[in-house]
Structure 1
Amino acid sequence: MRKLTLAVTAAASAISAPAFAGDLNVSIEIPRVSGASYHRPYVAVWIERPDNTAVRTLAVWYQQTANQEGDGKDWLKDMRTWWRRGGRALSLPADGVSSATKAPGRHSVTVPGARLSNLPAGDYVLVVEAARELGGREAVRVPFRWGVANTARATGATELGAVSVAVTR
């Protein structure tokens, strides 16, 4: 009877445990915007469920040092969607999440599978939101499936260019 109980317990834990340990690779293009007063955008990258509930913030690019205009954290709320869905609860700077703003060009965020080990297999949405002083705000949503190798892409119109997410084995 004891062997049967252990076998059932092992099978139940295998079913409830995430079955995938791949990596998540995100590519984000920040376009060059013409203008006399260009400021690098603040960018937040996070995962949501299809019902728009935030799962995890993967990256936040912002001005991490104070200047004559104040602390860079004061402007994080300009990324309104991220801020409302969990950004305001995040204690920044966060190790492995926080980074400085980025210049125009293609940038990547790689999240090792071990960091997402408690994420159950299923459908999710990668969201990238950018907000720029004296500029605009834009969010790009890229649906993807966690648990199988796949790639998905979307393109922004103003503050963001091409955004892609690749789940690898």
Structure 2
Amino acid sequence: MKLTWALLVVCATAVCWHSAATAAQSNIKLELPAIETSQYHRPYVAVWVENAQQQPVKLIALWVEKPDWLKDLRRFWRKIGRSNTALVDAVSGATQKPGSYTLQWDAKDDSGAALSAGRYTLFVEAAREQGGRSLVKHEFNLPAQGAVIDIAAEGELGAVKATIR
């Protein structure tokens, strides 16, 4: 009987911890617009966070096809791409077609440690072969407690909306 109660308490604690961890997820919704052109190539997209000293702390997403074109994501390339190939390999995924996408971020850095309180900047950069390049950014503070970031559509990027927790 004691073992059953202990197991029940452990399970209930795990469920509460999982719910709290899930609730702490930040959502970043970004749109890739449909661009009418004779030769459309899916854009390369990078989403990351930098600290107040403009040092990258978290690479959230990277959508690429061939590494040769990463240099077209200019800020991303200077800050992360050329110096941290292991991280690029670990995070990169396939390019995406036009549409709406939601990314999750747990307010942790690339090593899995929680970010300390302070000022940070969310960056979203997109570049398209035979197309344009767009870079949008928005500052926010941690702890954020549900801060909402709205960035208007620009060039290769549609609207970006983030809820930072």
Q: TM-score, normalised by structure 1?
A: 0.75
Letter aligned with residue 108 of structure 1: T
Q: Aligned-pair distance for 1:49?
A: 2.1
Q: Which piece of structure 1 moves more, 47-56 or 107-116?
A: 107-116
Q: Aligned-pair distance for 1:162?
A: 0.7
Report if aligned partners of 1:126, 1:165 keep a CA contact under 8 Å in 2: no
The CA distance in 1 between the partners of 2:144 and 2:156, in whole Å, is 30
Count of aligned pairs between the two proteins: 138
CA offsets per residue over residues 105-141 of structure 1, 9 Å max, x none? 1111102356654311222110000000000111010
Q: Aligned-pair distance for 1:87?
A: 1.7
Q: Which has the higher contact order (CA 8 A, sep 6+)?
A: 1
Letter aligned with residue 130 of structure 1: A
Report if aligned partners of 2:108, 2:115 keep a CA contact under 8 Å in 1: no
Structure 2: any 5+ residue segments left out of the alignment? 1-20
The alignment's C-alpha RMSD in Å is 1.7
Secondary structure at the residue paired with 1:133?
coil
CA separation of 1:164 and 1:78: change in aligned 2, threshold 3 A:
same
Alignment correspondent of 1:124: 120
Letter aligned with residue 164 of structure 1: K
CA offsets per residue over residues 127-166 of structure 1, 9 Å max, x none? 0000000001110102222213211111232100111221
- Residue 80, structure 1, aligned to residue 74, structure 2: yes
Higher relative helix content:
2
Q: TM-score, normalised by structure 2?
A: 0.76
Report if aligned partners of 1:138, 1:158 keep a CA contact under 8 Å in 2: yes
CA separation of 1:56 and 1:113: change in aligned 2, threshold 3 A:
closer
CA separation of 1:53 and 1:114: change in aligned 2, threshold 3 A:
closer
CA separation of 1:98 and 1:35: change in aligned 2, threshold 3 A:
same
Structure 1: any 5+ residue segments left out of the alignment? 1-20, 64-71
Letter aligned with residue 167 of structure 1: I
Alignment correspondent of 2:133: 137
Report if aligned partners of 1:60, 1:99 keep a CA contact under 8 Å in 2: yes
CA separation of 1:49 and 1:112: change in aligned 2, threshold 3 A:
closer
